[in-house]
């Protein structure tokens, strides 16, 4: 999945993305978005969208810095600044409010396929800047289970 940002350095503004649920590439004619694009970011594993990944973003709508995770992370680099998440590969993830997988937790339960975009983590009951660690899979007895839905396939544009 590619995200095309209107502003430099992955800033806020109009966003465009191209998504494929499978590892078959999705083609986008860039002439339709070229005038709006100042920065571009790839989301997910470089080997295919079906690989399970967790990407945390500094701000809502995938703006700012990112932290890419494939299995687990005991101490998040973006622990003091995060606002959105993208999951690929259909896997479940547990997020924790404490480092080293401690404290209140929430299971982010994926529908099993596709890409899940969480534009603002508060929409799924998480607080900005509250996450400190993350682990692949759902832990036993998490505080909360959030059932997520896959995003649309294809090209889409929106302005936050």
Q: What is the pLDDT of residues 14-44, one digit of tens each?
A: 555 555 545 555 566 666 666 677 777 878 8
What residues does 53 pair with on adjacent strands?
A: 88
Question: Contact, 109 vs 146, CB < 8 A?
Answer: yes
Q: What is the pLDDT of residues 98-139, one digit of tens each?
A: 999 999 999 999 887 778 888 899 999 999 999 999 999 997
Place of tokens 């929430």: 106
As a whole number of angstroms, the distance between CA 53 and CA 111 comes to 14
How many other CB atoms sit within 10 Å of the CB of residue 11? 14
What's the pTM value of the predicted model, to 2 decimals?
0.81
As a whole number of angstroms, the distance between CA 37 and CA 70 comes to 28
- What's the whole-number mean pLDDT along residues 45-64? 88
pLDDT(154) > 50 = no
Confidence of residue 155 (pLDDT cuts 50, 70, 90): very low
Q: Where are the domains of the chain?
A: 2-158
CATH 3.30.465.10 fits 2-158, yes or no: no
DSSP 144: E
């Amino acid at each position: 999945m590619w995200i095309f940002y209107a502003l430099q350095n992955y800033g806020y503004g109009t966003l465009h993305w191209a998504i494929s649920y499978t590892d078959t590439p999705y083609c986008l004619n860039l002439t339709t978005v070229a005038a709006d694009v100042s920065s571009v970011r790839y989301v997910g594993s470089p080997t295919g969208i079906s690989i399970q990944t967790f990407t945390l973003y500094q701000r809502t709508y995938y703006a700012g810095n990112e932290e890419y995770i494939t299995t687990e992370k005991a101490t998040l680099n973006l622990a003091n600044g995060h606002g959105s998440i993208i999951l690929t590969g259909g896997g479940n993830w547990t997020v924790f409010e404490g480092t080293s997988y401690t404290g209140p937790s929430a299971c982010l339960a994926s529908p099993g396929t596709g890409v899940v975009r969480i534009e603002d983590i508060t929409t799924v009951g998480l607080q900005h800047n509250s996450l400190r660690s993350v682990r692949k899979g759902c832990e036993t007895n998490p505080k909360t289970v959030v059932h997520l839905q896959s995003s649309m396939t294809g090209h889409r544009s929106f302005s936050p």
